[in-house]
């Protein structure tokens, strides 16, 4: 739970100090970084093959359908596959952590900023 005594902010608890937030960020990064790298490599391979392996990309697969067309369509398929995989991952792994953090924030009152602090701790519509 967020402990205001060890919070990096003096007058309000900060969600970044909660270990569950660290776990949430780590889980997000464990999914997003490798998948992003894999997709970018796949896309780069497609672009490089299109530019430098024209003979290979022009190879007919079925009728007038060549390797370049198949690879291009697979770019769309992989994009939608990644979106579906992320949606399932988030529902299974990220959403429960986020909901736990949200319930902690809702249950703890936010102290108003002291006068003269420049307004950096003022409540916004999202916090109210």
pLDDT on residue 44: 97
Q: For 126, how many CA atoms within 13 A lie in the half-sphere containing its CB?
A: 2
Contact partners, residue 69, CB within 8 Å, separation at least 6: 61
pLDDT in tens, the chain (128 residues): 555 555 555 555 677 788 889 999 999 999 999 999 999 999 999 999 999 999 999 999 999 999 999 999 999 999 999 999 999 999 999 999 999 888 887 776 655 555 555 544 444 545 54
* pTM for the model: 0.69
pLDDT on residue 15: 77
CA 112 to chain centre: 31
């Amino acid at each position: 739970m967020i402990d205001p005594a060890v919070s990096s902010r003096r007058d309000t608890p900060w969600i970044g100090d909660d270990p569950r937030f660290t776990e949430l960020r780590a889980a997000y990064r464990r999914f997003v970084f490798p998948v992003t790298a894999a997709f970018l490599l796949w896309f780069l391979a497609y672009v490089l093959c299109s530019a430098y392996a024209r003979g290979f990309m022009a190879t007919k697969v079925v009728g007038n359908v060549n390797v370049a067309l198949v690879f291009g369509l697979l770019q769309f398929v992989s994009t939608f596959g990644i979106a579906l995989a992320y949606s399932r991952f988030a529902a299974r792994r990220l959403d429960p952590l986020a909901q736990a953090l949200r319930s902690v924030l809702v249950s703890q009152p936010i102290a108003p900023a002291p006068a003269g602090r420049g307004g950096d701790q003022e409540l916004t519509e999202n916090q109210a």
